[in-house]
Amino acid sequence: MSEAVFLFASVFIIGVFIYSVYSLISQKIKDDRSPVLRAKATVVAKRVEVSTSSNIHHHGTGNIHHNHISTSTSYYVTFELDSGERKEFSVYGDEYGLLVEKDYGYLTYQGSRFKGFEIMS
């Protein structure tokens, strides 16, 4: 029975991995084929997503040798186009820091890919 569970778990994990890679490649191809668009938009929201992972290496009978902790931060900005449509994009931290809610300007994007935002003065 444990072999069947191991086999099922292995196939499931491999399936999830293959699906994830397929989804990433499909999105990249879709974005690459999309036109680069420029539209007037307002920054309506900003958010940060922080994820932390810990990897503890055990040696012998429970002795901890290493504890590796890594943190990843993702930045997101939501824009509202003049048409009323909202679009959320993942942006780099430096771009995130320059944008403020209610900034108005020209948003440039390609599919789901953020290309830039030029604030109108």
Does residue 47 sit in the same domain as residue 28? Answer: no
- Residues contacting 56, CB < 8 A, separation 6+: 64, 66, 67, 68
Domain coverage including residue 15 = 1-33
Does residue 72 sit in the same domain as residue 92? Answer: yes
The pLDDT score that the predictor gives to residue 1 is 64
pTM for this predicted structure: 0.76
Does residue 95 sit in the same domain as residue 41? Answer: yes
Contact 78, 86 (CB under 8 A): yes
Does residue 24 sit in the same domain as residue 40? Answer: no
Does residue 75 sit in the same domain as residue 93? Answer: yes
Beta bridge partners of 36: 110
Does residue 11 sit in the same domain as residue 42? Answer: no
Question: Per-residue pLDDT for 22 more than 80?
Answer: yes
Encode pLDDT of 44-58 as tens digits: 999 999 999 887 766
Overall domain count for the chain: 2
> Where does the pLDDT of residue 59 fall: very low under 50, low under 70, confident under 90, or very high at 90 and above?
low
Residue 44's CATH number: 2.40.50.660
Does residue 21 sit in the same domain as residue 76? Answer: no
